[in-house]
Structure formats: C-alpha cells, structure tokens
Amino acid sequence: MKGWTGKYLRINLSNKQIKKEEYDVEFAHKWVGGRGFAIKILWDELKAGIDPLGPENKLIVALGTLSGLTAPMSAKAVVAAKSPLTGGYGDGNIGSKAAMQLRKAGYDYLIIEGKAEKPTLLYIEDDKVELLPAEEVWGKGTYETLEILYKRYSKKVGILTIGQAGENKALYAVVRAMEGRAGGRPGMGAVMGSKNLKAIIVKGTNKEFSLADSDGLKKIGLEGLKGIRDLDKKVGWSKQGSPEILAWCNEVAALPVRNMRKTSSKDAWKIDGERLEAARVATYGCPNCSMHCGHAILDKEGHISELDYESVGMLGSNLEIFDRAQVASLNYLCDDYGIDTISAGAVLAFYADAIEQGLIQGDFKFGQAEKAKELLRKIAYREKEGDLLAQGTKKMAEKIGQGSMDFAMQVKGLEISAYNCKFIPGMALGFGTCSIGAHHKEAWIITYEIKESSRDSYGRDKAQKVIELQRIRGGLFEVLGVCRYPWIEIGWGIEHYPLYFNKATGLNWELKDFDRLADRIYALIRAFWVREIPDWNREYDIVPKIWFDPKNADTEGPIAGKVLEFDKYNQLLDHYYDIRCWDKKGIPTKQTMKELDLEKEAVELEDYVSLE
C-alpha cells in the first residue's frame, strides 16, 4: 500500500495495553485519512449514549494522507472524539511537529481508549511506545508544560498537550501544540483530561516513506511551497495575516460586537490588522509552511501572544475590548489554560449579556478585560461561576432559561465563530450545517454572497455553494492533512491537491473523487449525531433566534433594519437537504447512504431511527 503505512496504535490507558495494529487498503482508499478515518472509527467503535468524559470515549489522532510529506502546509493532524460540549461528533485539526513526527514514527493514527489511573504521558518513539508518569507537568499551563517536555526530550519532538482547562474538563478545552497552535474546539482537550492524559510526545526517525512516486511528490511539493511563498511575497498576505479580515467585517457589518448584538464598532480600528501588524514581535508557522500565519504581539503582561482573526474578533470586539494588548492577554490565557478562544469569547459575551438583561446575577460587563482574565481562570479551574461558564453557552442558557437561549450564540452547542450573520443568510447556513456545530472552517461564503449573489438572496445557489465549500474545506483538506490557507488567501489552485495525493498513493483521483468522499464523510458524521440524539430534527441546523428578531436589527449602517427571515432560512435549509439528498429532518436517506457506500452503516443507523 503506497502512501499509507497501514499501521496504527491502539493504546488502552485503563489496562496499559499498547497494540500495534494494521488496517487494510480498502479502509485507506475508502476513508483516506484525517477526518475520514476518525469518523469511521468512532462510528464503528463507540456505542451510542456513552459519556464523552468517561473511559468509553475514544480519542483519535489521525494524520492525513499528506501529513508529514513534502507538500504545502502538510503538518496537520485531526483530533476527534465524541464531544463533551455538543454530545455529537467533534474534531479539530492542528498544525504541529507532532504530525510530522508521527509520520516519521510510522503510524497513521492513534486510538486512545480508557482512562489512566494517574496523570500520564504517552511517549512514542518509533517502535517504542510508553506510558509515563505526568506528575511533573500535571496542573501546569501549556506553555510551561511544553517547555519542560522540550527540555526533557529535545525541541525536535512533537507534542500535543492540554492545560488546566483540559485537566478540569472545561467542555471547550482544546488540545495544544507548539507556540500558540490549538485545535479540537468541541472539547477534545477535555476528553484528554478525562483520560488523565496530559500529553502525547512523538519522535520518529524514519525518513523514507513508502510512496508511489517519492521523487515526483518531492518535486511538485517543493514547487508548491516555493510557489506559495512567491505568491505571498507578491500580494503581501503575511503582512497582516488573518487579522486583515477584521476591518472588512467592520465595513460590511459582519463583525461580532457585544455578543453579536451589533455588527460594527467605531473602535474596531484599534484592534485591526494594521494595528496588530505594527505591534508584531514574532511570526510563527507550522512545519512545512511557506506563508506563516502566527502573528504574535506582546500582551499586557509581556507574554508573546499569537493571534488570529477569530481570537481577536471573539475576545476583542465581541467583548467590546478594544485594547490590543488586553486582547492579546486574553488570547494568551486561553492558550495557556488550553481553552478555545472562540467559545471563550462567546461564553463571556453571553454571560455579560445575560447579566445586563437581568437574567442572572453576576459581576461582569462588556469591556472589562481584567475581570475577563479572572473569569478565564475560573473557567479553567471550574471554580464558582466558572463551573457554569465552562459548560458553554447552550448549557448555560438551559440553566438560566428565561429566553436566554435566543441569544446563546451557538449551533448544536458549539459557539459561533467571528462572523455576525444577522443579515448574511448563506453564511448563517454555513454555521447551521457545519458538521461539528457552528464553525466557519467548513464553509466561509461571505465573499460569494456579496460578490456573486446578494445579501438578501436565499437562493439555492447559496446552499450549493456551502456544499461545494464543505466538500473542499470539510472534506479534501481534512483528509489530506494540509492547511487550506494557500487556496483562497493566496490563490494556489485547488487542482494541485489531487496531484500531490496521486503522487503519494499511485491513485488517479480527481476533485470529484474527493467530493464524493466528502459527501460520504458528511453523511456518516450526520449519522453519528442522529444516533446520539434520539429526537434529532432540523432545529439542530438552525442558527440562534436573535438573528431572526427584527428588534435586533441594526438601527444604522449598511444593513439597517434587516435581519434573517426564518421561513426563508428554512427554505434555504430545504435546498441544502435536497442537494445532499437528505430528508426534511436533515437525515441522510437510505438511498443516499447506499450510493455513498454506507449500506452497512445505514442498517446500523436504523436501529435508532427509521430512514426514508
């Protein structure tokens, strides 16, 4: 089998059994890697209804087919499990040395089961796989943990770790890697913490991989890295990086401000791309990347804090904190505690909003950066009000009641990222139908809506566009283990990626083959959700009520008086289901699953729900 090692590790933390196992070529060709492997394994190996923070949950760390190879931005690994935040399928991808080292160590994925009796490190060095005590680092933040482990094992190793938030099972605790890298928004860090697993350390020495055309891949891979670097130099994307989006979102009234009640702010310029560029002290990037996106500034306490647009939007404008050093402080604390910055920003904003509405007692207002820092600490330790905040906006709203669910900015329990879709129907659909809950990573459609269509359209073309983007962003990139940034931001053609894949594997895939795989993955992820949620229906694909409320419309600006229309959103959702050949509840039909080679899974799903 070229391109894949065919090998994986099964680690049982309860009985400390470590097994080296193999998978076959059919599995490789059907699911390819990364998210594809993760969903199939979780579907097969998890029983419905298990406690996501219990020993029966499994953490999957899965490389993409290109992870660790000579291809542009090929340092991604997917971390996946049943999500403690949403109760459904959860995953994230992280760029790090861990992906590179795991490739060299010779394993395509890890299945981590059970629960260790004591805090544990998982150490992988080629054939040597050990469970070691983690007392020295348990209780420490991710930055200190990384420092200690690098000293112990060398700076060359790859490390995936958690902070106090993961140890204490805050539901949106993430997995952290080098510098400011983080992933696994739906609580993958909490899953690690629930298993008493503090870190995974990987070192690999193998440099020869079994590829179909190693020299061929190296040639076009290096051309890709150089081509992207040259394009980036030409256009200057890396100068501001992703924070360049903030000023534009402010302009087009899509900025998250004040728990997304407002869409712009006259103070937004204080934390925009240019202001951050001017304060930059360091630039970080993943291995095998030629357009580094990790722009870091000094925070209020003097730490180097690596920022990206989402963090600035959610911890800055969404909280009406327009002091860039303070935003950097909140970002740094999230990274150190191992908390997802998007959910943290949404939770704090919801908390301030609920207090302001008089629905809950509390001492926190928009703009209070110092109090926000203290609340992040309480979330990480699940102390006092932090215990409620650590559960995410959906569970908070369920407890607070009094109509607060209307402005809990989440879908399926995962907090909405930094795009205020009060009047952006297609993007709202993107959030509504993202496979893990509200995340823009699968379909970002705002440019299309403004450029090709129009904001007030709910046309079928928008649903089609969301699916096209999900196929590439939620499918192709997630199974290949490469970063999507070169594609739109720099203009590196998507047609390159099947070429890299074919050189590695000897297959002859085209984009349409990846589309079909993506449709299969989306159907199985949806099946996983439906299996977990007995009363599944389309309401889980609907965005928060406040976006439909005319009383919440902007009173001035480009979208004054406008909000989403509920009936029209539902029509758009119907188009989405129709194009995907899912039923009106958003469940794949029997025929669709058969056509996607999911016949066996369809039979299994019918134990839980009858399929149309």
Partner 1 sequence: MKIKLKIFGYLIYQFGFREKEVTIPHSFTVGELLPFINLKKQSPMIITRNGKKIDSDDKIEDGDRIVVAPFFSGG
Binding site for partner 1 (CB under 8 A): 234-237, 239-240, 242-245, 247-248, 251-252, 273-274, 308-311, 313, 417-419, 440-441, 444, 446-447, 450-452, 454, 473, 484-485, 487-489, 491, 558
CA–CA dist 495, 518 (Å, integer): 16
Start-to-end CA span in the chain (Å): 38
CB of 270 to partner 1, least distance (A): 15
CA–CA dist 40, 214 (Å, integer): 28
CB of 518 to partner 1, least distance (A): 17
CB of 244 to partner 1, least distance (A): 4
DSSP letter (8 states) at residue 289: -
Beta-carbon count within 10 A of 151 CB? 9
Tell me the two tokens of residue 300: 């209020």
User: Between residues 367 and 558, which has the closer beta carbon with respect to partner 1?
Assistant: 558
Are 86 and 184 in contact, with CB atoms under 8 Å apart? no
Closest CA to 9 of 91, 133, 126, 94: 126
Helices (H), 62-160: 97-105, 142-153
User: Between residues 196 and 311, which has the closer beta carbon with respect to partner 1?
Assistant: 311
DSSP letter (8 states) at residue 129: E
Beta-carbon count within 10 A of 454 CB? 10
User: Between residues 141 and 294, which has the closer beta carbon with respect to partner 1?
Assistant: 294
CB of 570 to partner 1, least distance (A): 25
User: Between residues 141 and 425, which has the closer beta carbon with respect to partner 1?
Assistant: 425
CB of 348 to partner 1, least distance (A): 18
User: Between residues 454 and 537, which has the closer beta carbon with respect to partner 1?
Assistant: 454
Helices (H) and strands (E) in the chain, counts: 26, 17
User: Between residues 217 and 346, which has the closer beta carbon with respect to partner 1?
Assistant: 346
CB of 416 to partner 1, least distance (A): 12
The DSSP bridge pattern shows strands 59-63 and 18-22 to be unpaired
User: Between residues 362 and 557, which has the closer beta carbon with respect to partner 1?
Assistant: 557
Longest dimension (CA), the chain: 65
Please enumerate in sequence order all residues whose Cβ is within 8 A of that of 459, keeping only pairs 6 or more positions apart, or say none.
453
SS3 82: strand
Q: How many residues does the chain have?
A: 612
CB of 417 to partner 1, least distance (A): 8
Closest CA to 66 of 520, 498, 518: 498
CB of 96 to partner 1, least distance (A): 18
Instruction: List b or e across 594-607, with b for residues whose CB sees 16 or more CB atoms inside 10 angstroms.
Output: ebbebeebbeebee
Tell me the two tokens of residue 15: 């009985």
User: Between residues 425 and 586, which has the closer beta carbon with respect to partner 1?
Assistant: 425
User: Between residues 151 and 451, which has the closer beta carbon with respect to partner 1?
Assistant: 451
Residue 429, judged by CB atoms within 10 A of its CB (0-12, 13-18, 19+), counts as buried
User: Between residues 163 and 313, which has the closer beta carbon with respect to partner 1?
Assistant: 313
Residue 228, judged by CB atoms within 10 A of its CB (0-12, 13-18, 19+), counts as buried
Are 511 and 498 in contact, with CB atoms under 8 Å apart? yes
User: Between residues 446 and 521, which has the closer beta carbon with respect to partner 1?
Assistant: 446
CB of 235 to partner 1, least distance (A): 5
SS3 470: helix
Closest CA to 285 of 495, 35, 485: 485
Tell me what percent of the chain is helix, strand and coil, each rounded to the nearest 5. 45, 15, 40
CB of 304 to partner 1, least distance (A): 19
CB of 240 to partner 1, least distance (A): 7
CB of 488 to partner 1, least distance (A): 4
SS3 176: strand
User: Between residues 455 and 520, which has the closer beta carbon with respect to partner 1?
Assistant: 455
Phi, psi (degrees; rounded to nearest 5) at 258: 55, 60
